[in-house]
Structure 1
Amino acid sequence: MNKSSILQEALSYCAQYLGGTWECVASSDVISKRIRRGVSNVLLYLKLADYFSHENQEVIVRFYGSELTGKGNKYKLLSEVEEAIVFQTLSEMLSGPKLLGLFPGGRIEEFICVEQVSVEEYESIEVCSFLAKQIAKFHCLRFPIKKCHKPSSEQVKSLYQAFCANQTESSHKNEIYLRYFKNFDFGNEVKWIEKMSKSTVVASRIVFSHCDLNRTNIVKRDNTNEYLIFDFEYCRYTDRAADMSTYFIEIGLNHLQMCDEFDISCYPNEDFKKLFIRQYLSEFKQNFSDFDFFIDHEDRILLETDFSLLVICLIRILWILTQCKISKRLWKQAKIYLLTYNHFKQRFMHQYSHSLEI
Structure 2
Amino acid sequence: MANQVPKLIREMVFDWCTSCVGGAWANLPEEDFQISPLSGGLTNMMYICTLPSHCKLQGSEPRRLLVRVYGELSKSMAFVLNSSVLFSILAERKLGPKLFGVFPRGRVEEFLPARPLLTKELAKPEISRQIARKLAMFHSLSVPLCKQPSWFFANLERWVDQAVDNMRYDNKLALNDRLHKYLSFDLLMEFRELKQRLLNENSPVLFCHNDLQEGNILLEKKEDDEEPVLTFIDLDYCNYNYRGFDFANHMMEWCYDYTVDQPPYFKYTPCSYPSLEEKYVFFCEYIQTRDGSSEVKTEELAQMNQETDMFALASSFWWGTWALVQACSSDINFDYVEYSISRFDHYFSWKSKLDKCVFKTFNH
* Cα distance change on mapping 1:30 and 1:136 into 2, 3 Å: same
Shift of 1:237: 0.7
Could you tell me how far apart the structure 1 residues matched to 2:129 and 2:172 are?
Answer: 46
Aligned to 2:350: 344
The answer to whether 1:228 aligns with 2:231 is yes
Could you tell me how far apart the structure 2 residues matched to 1:144 and 1:42 are?
Answer: 27
After TM superposition, list the pairs within 5 Å mapping 1:83-94 onto structure 2.
83-94=83-94
Aligned to 1:214: 213
SS state of the match for residue 303, structure 1?
helix
For residue 309 of structure 1, the aligned residue among 308, 312, 315 is 312
Q: TM-score, normalised by structure 2?
A: 0.80
* Cα distance change on mapping 1:50 and 1:83 into 2, 3 Å: same
The answer to whether 1:264 aligns with 2:265 is no
After TM superposition, list the pairs within 5 Å mapping 1:1-358 onto structure 2.
3-54=6-57, 55-66=60-71, 69=72, 73-74=74-75, 78-80=79-81, 82-94=82-94, 96-150=96-150, 152=152, 155-171=155-171, 174-175=174-175, 176-181=177-182, 186=187, 189-199=190-200, 202-221=201-220, 225-254=228-257, 264-286=270-292, 297-322=300-325, 323-324=327-328, 329-353=335-359
Shift of 1:7: 3.0
Shift of 1:352: 4.0
SS state of the match for residue 102, structure 2?
strand
* Cα distance change on mapping 1:59 and 1:353 into 2, 3 Å: farther
CA offsets 1:118-145 (integer angstroms, 9 cap, x no match): 2221332222111111111111100123
Could you tell me how far apart the structure 1 residues matched to 2:350 and 2:20 are?
Answer: 50
Moved more, 211-220 or 325-334: 325-334
Could you tell me how far apart the structure 2 residues matched to 1:103 and 1:156 are?
Answer: 26
* Cα distance change on mapping 1:124 and 1:303 into 2, 3 Å: same
Could you tell me how far apart the structure 1 residues matched to 2:5 and 2:266 are?
Answer: 36
Moved more, 151-160 or 10-19: 151-160
Moved more, 231-240 or 333-342: 333-342
Moved more, 14-23 or 132-141: 14-23
Contact 2:75 2:104 in 1 (8 A): no
Unpaired segments ≥5 residues, structure 2: none
SS state of the match for residue 328, structure 2?
coil
Shift of 1:312: 2.0
One-letter identity of the residue aligned with 2:134 = Q
Moved more, 36-45 or 188-197: 188-197
SS state of the match for residue 348, structure 1?
helix
SS state of the match for residue 233, structure 1?
helix
One-letter identity of the residue aligned with 2:218 = V
One-letter identity of the residue aligned with 1:214 = Q
* Cα distance change on mapping 1:281 and 1:350 into 2, 3 Å: farther
Shift of 1:6: 2.8
* Cα distance change on mapping 1:163 and 1:25 into 2, 3 Å: closer
Aligned to 1:290: none
Unpaired segments ≥5 residues, structure 1: 288-292
Could you tell me how far apart the structure 2 residues matched to 1:151 and 1:30 are?
Answer: 39
Contact 2:83 2:235 in 1 (8 A): yes
Contact 2:167 2:174 in 1 (8 A): no
One-letter identity of the residue aligned with 2:219 = K
CA offsets 1:232-251 (integer angstroms, 9 cap, x no match): 11110111111111111111
Could you tell me how far apart the structure 1 residues matched to 2:345 and 2:253 are?
Answer: 14
Moved more, 108-117 or 316-325: 316-325
CA offsets 1:210-241 (integer angstroms, 9 cap, x no match): 11111211111256622221111111011111
CA offsets 1:10-30 (integer angstroms, 9 cap, x no match): 333333323232222112334
Shift of 1:268: 1.5
Contact 1:156 1:311 in 2 (8 A): no
SS state of the match for residue 194, structure 2?
helix
Shift of 1:286: 3.3
